[in-house]
Structure 1
Amino acid sequence: MARPSLDDIYSEHDEFGLLDLKQRGTRSGSATDRGVAVLLDVTCFVEQNGRLPDPEALSHDEMKLAMTWGAVKTSPTEKMIAADRLGLLDEKSIAPPRSWKDEVPEEAIPESLDDIFDDDELEVDPSLVTFQHTTPSSERVTPDHRAEFVPCRDFEKFRERFEIVQRALETGERKARAVKKWAIIEPIEGDFFIRNGLLAMIAEKSEMTSRGGSRDHRLRIIFSNGTESDPLMSSFRKSLSEDKTARTVQKVGLGPVDPEWESDQLELSGTIYVARSRSEDPAIREQRMILHKIGVTSQDVARRVADARNDPTFLLAPVDIVATYSLKNLSRHKVEDLLHRFFVSARPAELFVVDRLGKKISPKEWFYVLPEHVGQAVKLIEDGQLHLFHYDVATQKIVPN
């Protein structure tokens, strides 16, 4: 059977209309319709934004519209001219879009953040400009006392120690080692450092306190130029790490088991103080006259309690010093430990404060005792007879064993 020719195929009935082709419009007519459509899109854009579309816009749709407009406006048709009610085909009738490369008018530059946020066109989610995890300034800890440098009134007690350490450094008996950055330094009383070119001695390391949720000590540091300061231990560490000339001074001896290793430890006399809280907490205020803190310090007592309202050790409130007793030739730490153990039965088990982070802290230096009881105990320590007596909570008296 012979294969059908093309004529045979085209002469057959077109059942599915495959050969029924629609005549496309003329090229000029298509261009006219396209130009008018683009003009109408650009007109709508200008009415909404007050400017022509930017060919460098970040928006793909705007960039595409600008590029298309740039191509069709060069040869406008009569229909486009008739449909141009905003005069967009006249380039001088409307300002071109402003580029990021253009100079910004001086009046358009905001003077403050308030000017930016007050812009009606700026839509900012309130959650982006509302601090949720930052302590308000009204609730932040503002210290009443800063660790400034002041003259050391009892510097003569320390002068000889500084001279001995200085000679040892000059002869090589002691070495000064550089403080490594981010090194964890745990200074103890009697340790020597070099800070800002001065020898610095840790004269006192007071009872543990709590700041910002972390435990810390208050230090008393004596400097070789006759001044002193009392920073927190964490602040002193930071100052050493930031000082490129900072050094730690080697101790005497071969290690902790060597008797000479602790030869720099200080056994300074000091002051026993009895403090009364001025807290407005009802649980503390009701017992104010019988609840007292017993502490021992080598520095000025007023300076020691200056920042009491920010210190959990002092129940986060100012205190009044109601009694002081001088120590002579007695170890501060031993005396403080003796007094705390002697009055341990009068320590309130339920006493606590809540710091600004919501952490419950129970200070151990407060007792239900009167100042005169502390005075009697101090006298017994001086006479070496404290072990022969005890404090009777029931009678609130110091009685013989």
Structure 2
Amino acid sequence: MPRYRSLDEVFQDEDPHGLLEIRTGAGRASAPADRNASAVARVNAFYEIHGRLPDENARDVEEMKLGAIWKSLGGQPSEAMRAADRNGLLGARTVFGREATPARSWRDDPPEEEVPASLEDVWEEDDEDLCEAATELRHVTPAAAREQPDHRAELYPCTDFATFEQGFRDMQAKLESGERTMSPIEDRQELPINEGDYLVHRGLLAYVAEKTELSRRGGKPDYRLRLIFSNGMESDPLMSSLRKALAADRTARKVDRARMGPLDPTWRADALEVGGTIYVARSKSDRPEIAEVRNILHKIGVTSQNVSRRVADARNDATFLLADVEIVATYELRNLSRQKVEDLLHRFFEPARPSQLTVTDRFGKRVHPREWFYVLPEHVGEAARLIQSGTLHLYRYDPTTQKIARKDE
């Protein structure tokens, strides 16, 4: 191998392997003019697809890179670049490499003249470009409809008002003589309401004749009341609804109960009226899960009013599964508390209570009625007789055999 004393001798020697040749193949970097022409061709291709120039602030990485290359082009365009510019995009630039009107980035702050000075300016902006889904509500219950309750407690004449009339007269006399006092109802007070209570509501004396049909709203127990007014009218509000109405009525009052005990000679005057009717109702609902067990699924309730009137509005009451019912059996009570009898019956038939029975009201809220059981009417009648004789505690209900049997058997 020859020894060289300088680089000139190296370059003067023959190059049989072509090591000193300058190639411009695919694997070597092209000249700047060729790269610029390639960039112009790519920008024209992007423009033909999207109808706009690439944005260097775009979220798409490829568009961002292409926009940055397009903006970085400087100097006068070469013939190769003009030949690649088939859409005349280079002529739209006042200074090559700079757009006549630079595109504003989403990262930039808006101009001061576009910032609204008040809410009125916001409301006055034209919203014609907004889609219909952004300006109109669909599949939403109107506010007026959402405020409508499932069951509205209306006032109607009390057909058995003669039963309560003397009680109103006696209470009015006690209030006038000072023997009984009244207390105002404070705001946000969870007023205890029981059967036998007297209230002053809407300027009238009202008597709580019945408290029944336990349900739960918002996790709290609620009851349906029978409220008799001194003018001969009655209503059946929920206890929670009555509390709200009393809180809104600034003239509302609670009549204080007399002291209880043997030292009070008048304590029996406020004793709870007892008696009523146990009724067994069968649903007429056309829901498949209810219709297929219609002959064994029954509602057990206790009321002091006419049973037909009690179930007249069943289709609007979630307690009745939002459907009409038919009364299949009734049993009269004698000298027994209606609420206690209803609680005893519900606890006695607890093993036969359907755990998955639910109904959805018209507001989409799921309600779990707790007064329906897989029992026959004769079972309820037998349990009522055992309550009347005071021996129900000796028996149990077996849902497997559908029989009432003694506990010691």
Quickly name the TM-score band, shorter chain normalised: 0.5 to 0.7
* 2:175 corresponds to 1:169: yes
Which one of the candidate residues 325, 330, 343 is aligned to 1:337?
A: 343
> 2:302, 2:403 → 1: CA distance?
22
Which one of the candidate residues 274, 281, 285 is aligned to 2:280?
A: 274
Instruction: Note closer, same or farther for the CA distance 1:143–1:325 as it changes in structure 2 (3 Å cut).
Output: farther
Tell me the alpha carbon deviations over residues 182-227 of structure 1, each in whole angstroms, 9 at most, x when there is no partner: 5433322222111222111111122233569986422111111222
Tell me the alpha carbon deviations over residues 114-172 of structure 1, each in whole angstroms, 9 at most, x when there is no partner: xxxxxx99556535542369425898586685322222222233233323321221111
1:285 Cα deviation (Å)? 1.7
Percent identity among equivalent residues? 57
Aligned to 2:83: none
TM-score by length of 2: 0.59
> 2:356, 2:342 → 1: CA distance?
22
**3-state SS of paired residue (1:374):** helix
Aligned to 2:9: none
Aligned to 1:291: 297
Q: In structure 1, what residue type is equivalent to 2:372?
A: W
* 2:327 corresponds to 1:309: no
Structure 1 residue runs of 5 or longer lacking an equivalent are 1-58, 62-119
Tell me the alpha carbon deviations over residues 251-309 of structure 1, each in whole angstroms, 9 at most, x when there is no partner: 22289xx9998974524211111111222332222111101111111122233233433
Q: Is the 8 A contact 1:210 1:313 kept in 2?
A: no
Structure 2 residue runs of 5 or longer lacking an equivalent are 1-111, 115-125
1:359 Cα deviation (Å)? 5.0
Q: Is the 8 A contact 2:211 2:339 kept in 1?
A: no
Aligned to 1:135: 141
Q: Is the 8 A contact 1:179 1:241 kept in 2?
A: yes
Aligned to 1:199: 205
Q: Is the 8 A contact 2:212 2:339 kept in 1?
A: no
Tell me the alpha carbon deviations over residues 334-374 of structure 1, each in whole angstroms, 9 at most, x when there is no partner: 22122223322322233333445655443322211111221
Which one of the candidate residues 371, 388, 395 is aligned to 1:365?
A: 371
> 1:242, 1:232 → 2: CA distance?
16
**3-state SS of paired residue (2:339):** helix
> 1:328, 1:348 → 2: CA distance?
30
Question: What pairs up with 1:97-108 in 2 under 5 angstroms?
Answer: none
Q: Is the 8 A contact 1:211 1:311 kept in 2?
A: no
Report how many residues are paired.
286
Q: Is the 8 A contact 1:190 1:264 kept in 2?
A: yes
Q: Is the 8 A contact 2:281 2:326 kept in 1?
A: yes
TM-score by length of 1: 0.60
**3-state SS of paired residue (1:321):** strand
Tell me the alpha carbon deviations over residues 22-46 of structure 1, each in whole angstroms, 9 at most, x when there is no partner: xxxxxxxxxxxxxxxxxxxxxxxxx
* 2:249 corresponds to 1:243: yes
Aligned to 2:158: 152
> 2:239, 2:135 → 1: CA distance?
36
> 1:199, 1:277 → 2: CA distance?
36
**3-state SS of paired residue (1:324):** strand
Aligned to 1:393: 399
* 2:388 corresponds to 1:374: no
> 1:390, 1:168 → 2: CA distance?
46
Instruction: Note closer, same or farther for the CA distance 1:130–1:253 as it changes in structure 2 (3 Å cut).
Output: farther
